[in-house]
Amino acid sequence: MLPRLLALLAIALLALNLRSAITSVAPVLGELARGLGLTGVEASVLGALPPVVFGVGGIATPAVIRRLGADRSAVLAMALATTGTLARAFSPGVPSFLTAQVVALVGMGMGNVLLPPLVKRHFPGHIGPLTALYGICLQLGTAVPAFVAVPLADAAGWRTSLGAWSALSLMAVVPWLLLGRQGRLEHGEPAAPSTIPLRALLRSRLAWGAVLLMGTTSLNTYPVFTWLPRILADAGVDRTVAGSLLGVYSLMSLPLAFGVPWLAIRLRNPFPVVVAGLACYVCGYAGLALAPARAPLLWTVLVGLAAVGFPLALCLVNLRTLSHDGAVALSGFMQGVGYLLASTGPLATGILHSLTGGWSASFLFLLCTLVPMTVGALVICRPVHLEEALGATAADLPAYDPLQATPEGGRISWSAK
């Protein structure tokens, strides 16, 4: 019983620590810039780091898991997150701060990849409830730092506000180490090579559709994480309120995590879900560009609810593949390339702001990215399977019945015929 409780706590704490290095920075970015002499371009680089590191992590972490096993990799991930989060609070300059931020993000990027196999390893009979649990913890770990970053900075300084989250990631190391003392940490077995090579995915319209949907959604998400408090503060909104609205933005992903997959499995072509998201993007961006202080809560909620592409893309990984190998290949390609694409968002919006002195050009750029998002959604939402599109022989694939698919905590669980 104790090992299972420890595993439950370990998974929950791991999920809580996968976004704090991102959302704890934006609310105090002004103080950070003054304290370290951070330029506008360097702030843009800081905002672009998370998707770049997560993209590289999506490609590299499976090799780490094969060598160390999932549980030991979790210890390593949280150790890196703790080290980087604490080191950035003591950084004397911009280079050391960026280095520490990269270390923290490497650990958190590993955690992104680790969570699903850890749930399957420790709770194979409770995939749905545990997936819902870590989804909730992930969103809480995204929202809470945004809410409390400014009050912490006002009370104890921006360095304390940034470094305090190392205590939470250090707590996440403890249950994994205790599981090790229970004899539960084991080395992973070598993974079999994928039967779907990368060159096949590079030629697949369906795979690139998934990349465009997921990547452009994240491309629109990270600039909001990076710049929303500053956009609102520049318009005269109180700093504490602006930081809290970033937390509101983060919380909008909770209803999406449950609602979007529920709709996707009931629609043969879920493109109307994307259309609703596009409408929210247009209205939210227009409000933030033209009258940000008039109704900041409304604009924030609209932009938060617009990000339907991320949960939909994760759902379609299962809906648009016929085999486990196909799902693994599509998921890895989508997240690896998609996060790298997303890294251009904070960088481009920050540079445009520096060149123009306002935010209108940045929002115009983000509105233009909705075009490839629409194209990608049109492709990946069509009821076509990856293996069939690649010309794979279906005879050796396991038979799955899409009509028997059921939602489990935002993921899709297939029932074999």
Strand partners, 406: 413
- Residue 167, C-beta contacts closer than 8 angstroms, at least 6 positions apart: none
H or E stretch at 178: helix 165-181
Summarize pLDDT for 176-215 with one digit per residue, the tens.
Answer: 888 876 655 444 444 444 557 778 888 899 999 999 999 9
Output the DSSP codes for 369-383.
HHHHHHHHHHHHHSS
The percentage of residues in the chain with a pLDDT greater than 90, rounded to a whole number, is 37
Q: Is the pTM higher than 0.75?
A: no
The amino acid that residue 414 corresponds to is W
Measure the CA angle with vertex 293, ends 289 and 296; round to 5°: 85
Summarize pLDDT for 217-244 with one digit per residue, the tens.
Answer: 999 998 998 889 889 999 998 888 888 8
| pLDDT (0 to 100) of residue 232 | 92
Whether 272 has a pLDDT exceeding 50, the answer reads yes
pLDDT band, residue 398 (cuts 50/70/90): very low
Dihedral sign, CA of 377, 378, 383, 387? negative
Whether 413 has a pLDDT exceeding 70, the answer reads no
| pLDDT (0 to 100) of residue 411 | 35
Among residues 194, 166, 160, which one has the least CA distance to residue 101?
166
d(CA 291, CA 109): 35
Q: How far is CA 357 from the centre of its chain?
A: 29
Following CA atoms 363, 368, 370, 372 in sequence, which dihedral angle do they give, to the nearest 10 degrees?
-150
Taking CA atoms, 236 is separated from 240, 241, 291, 294, in Å, by 12, 10, 11, 10
| pLDDT (0 to 100) of residue 72 | 86
All domains of the chain, ordered by start, with CATH? Answer: 1-191 (1.20.1250.20), 194-417 (1.20.1250.20)
Q: Which residue's structure tokens are 């520096």? A: 354
